[in-house]
Amino acid sequence: MSLKTVSLRRRVAVSVLLVLFLVLVALVIAVDRTFEGQSNKDVDLVLRDAESRAATMMLRGSQPREVVRQLTKRNVHVTVELPNGTRFGEAPDEGLFQRKNQVIRGAKFTFYADTEAISQAQGRLRKLLIMLGIGAIVITGVLMIWVVRRALAPLDAMTSLAQAIAAGHRGGRLNPSRTDTELGRTAAAFDGMLDSLEGSEQRTRRFVADAAHELRTPITGVQAVAEALVQAPVDSPDRDQMSFLLVREARRAGRLVDDLLALAQLDAGYEMQRESVDLLGLAEAEVARTRFVAPDFDIAADGVSVTVLGDGQRLAQVLANLVDNARQATGPGGRVRIRVDLTGFTVSDDGPGVPESERERIFDRLVRLDDARDRRSGGSGLGLAIARGVVRAHGGELTCEPSEGGAVFRVVLPEAPVS
């Protein structure tokens, strides 16, 4: 997404001034038209009044000359033309006039109303409105600089905070007083993002520190055994035992490195292989593997044959991890069951189970509920985190379900589309 970085201050100011300009233009036009319409009505009223008075005087027997003399004033002129062609009064030849003709008792009366004063007043009104409009635009433009700067001050605060955080100053927050406004919601989202980033950074640092601590143990063991092996005599009876310890610690470090690499690939959006995977066949293969490693262990798989679209090797790794955890939790005399259904599979055991408060935390990285046992078994505390990451990469979910006895891990996967 490409974000347009036009100056928000300029954009707001120009928009407001443009709207104000359009409003003022509309206002000037509306006032001018209203004034012109009202002026025409007033002039027409004057002409009608003169016409009415002329008709009344003629009915009373007044002579046309007398009617013209009495009705002609500074802003009203009257002329009369008799049927025999005789004319009384003079038509104005200069200025702006509105004219109206009327025949009264056979005589043609023409009434002229002077509109020059009205036109001049209309012109002055237009100039006044234009001057006021320009003044309003100038004053508004000046005020907009202050108003917009004040209105956008929260954005400047966000910018300053972001720059401070980029410079390494952590912990700053906007803390908006209200979160029901546009800027309030933006500031709250900004603070939430910072909380998430700092939390992620802290988790990353803790994870790196924990991973370094986990690696230090087998590496220290490898170094110590290697030094002892180098210093031991060739015919020393302890050389075989030291060689065994060296291989064991090296394998332990290698498994941890492999787990860390798997997590890094998942975090980077590792592209899974997509193929049809038979979950029931996967479960039966895991039962066979476990029985080969521990022939006397009680493990079985049942359910329906379900095909999903995914990475068979990775899903087998998830299943193996869950089964190995269950076998370590129950001990040699335990029991593990794998059940496949239409939505995924479940791995359950009859071990001590997982406390309710720990059912989500066990999926965190480098977490062990039984630290001593996991260290003896070579566990890194990354297996469940990797398993959940693989399942989620397939569009599914891995959870630890409530149970009355033992632990129950549930894997839900999307079913393969029917071709």
User: Are 292 and 254 in the same domain?
Assistant: no
Q: How confident is the model at residue 367 (pLDDT cuts 50, 70, 90)?
A: low
pLDDT value at position 278? 93
Tell me, what CATH number does 330's domain have?
Answer: 3.30.565.10
Q: Is residue 369 predicted with pLDDT exceeding 50? A: yes
The one-letter amino acid code at 289 reads R
Q: Which domain holds residue 134?
A: 8-151
Task: Read off the pLDDT band of 368 (50, 70, 90).
Answer: low
Q: Report how far residue 180's alpha carbon sits from residue 223's, in angstroms, rounded to the nearest whole number.
A: 61
Q: 103-133: per-residue pLDDT in tens? A: 888 889 898 888 887 888 888 888 988 898 8
Q: At 419, is the pLDDT very low, low, confident or very high (cuts 50, 70, 90)?
A: very low
Last residue of a domain, one of 128, 151, 174: 151
Indicate whether 119 and 229 sit together in one domain. no
- Stated pTM of the model: 0.51
Q: Are residues 141 and 210 in the same domain?
A: no
Q: Identify which of 127-136, 268-277, 296-305 has the greatest average pLDDT.
A: 296-305
Question: What is the rounded distance in angstroms from the CA atom of residue 358 to the CA atom of residue 115?
Answer: 94
- Specify if 3 maps to a domain: no
Residue 213 pLDDT greater than 70, yes or no? no
Q: What mean pLDDT do residues 328-334 have?
A: 89
Q: Which of 49-58, 193-202, 242-251 has the lowest mean pLDDT?
A: 193-202
Query: 61 and 32 in one domain?
Result: yes
pLDDT of residue 303: 94
**pLDDT reading at 323 higher than 70:** yes
Same domain, residue pair 113 and 207: no
Q: Which residue has the higher pLDDT, 376 or 171?
A: 171
How high is the pLDDT of residue 91?
Answer: 80
Q: What is the pLDDT of residues 34-72, one digit of tens each?
A: 988 898 898 889 888 988 988 898 888 888 888 888 888
* CATH number where 228 lies: 1.10.287.130
| Confidence at residue 400, expressed as pLDDT on a 0 to 100 scale | 94
What is the rounded CA–CA span in Å between residue 80 and residue 101?
A: 10
Q: What is the mean pLDDT of residues 278-288?
A: 94
127 and 186: one domain? no
**CA-closest candidate to residue 325, choices 373, 284, 280, 292:** 373
Distances (CA, A) of 102 to 47, 80, 111, 118: 11, 10, 8, 24
161 is a domain residue:
no
What total number of domains does the chain contain?
A: 3
Q: Where residue 121 sits, what CATH number does that domain have?
A: 3.30.450
In terms of domains, do 407 and 296 share one?
yes
- Are residues 280 and 352 both part of a single domain? yes
Burial 245-268 (b: 16+ CB within 10 A, else e): bbeebbebbebbeebbebbebbee
Q: Is the same domain home to 323 and 239?
A: no
Is 39 a member of any domain? yes
314/209 same-domain check:
no
Position 326 confidence tier, pLDDT thresholds 50, 70, 90: very high
Tally the C-alpha atoms within 13 A of residue 392's C-alpha that lie toward its C-beta: 13
Residue 177 counted as domain residue:
no
Q: Report the 3 state secondary structure along the chain.
A: CCCCCCCHHHHHHHHHHHHHHHHHHHHHHHHHHHHHHHHHHHHHHHHHHHHHHHHHHHHCCCCHHHHHHHHCCCCEEEEEECCCCCEECCCCCCCCEEEEEEEECCEEEEEEEECHHHHHHHHHHHHHHHHHHHHHHHHHHHHHHHHHHHHCHHHHHHHHHHHHHHCCCCCCCCCCCCCCCHHHHHHHHHHHHHHHHHHHHHHHHHHHHHHHHHHHHHHHHHHHHHHHHHHCCCCCCCHHHHHHHHHHHHHHHHHHHHHHHHHHHHHCCCCCCCEEEEHHHHHHHHHHHHHHHCCCCEEEEEECCCEEEECHHHHHHHHHHHHHHHHHHHCCCCEEEEEEECCEEEEEECCCCCCHHHCCHHHCCCCCCCHHHHHHHCCCCCHHHHHHHHHHHCCCEEEEECCCCCCEEEEECCECCCC
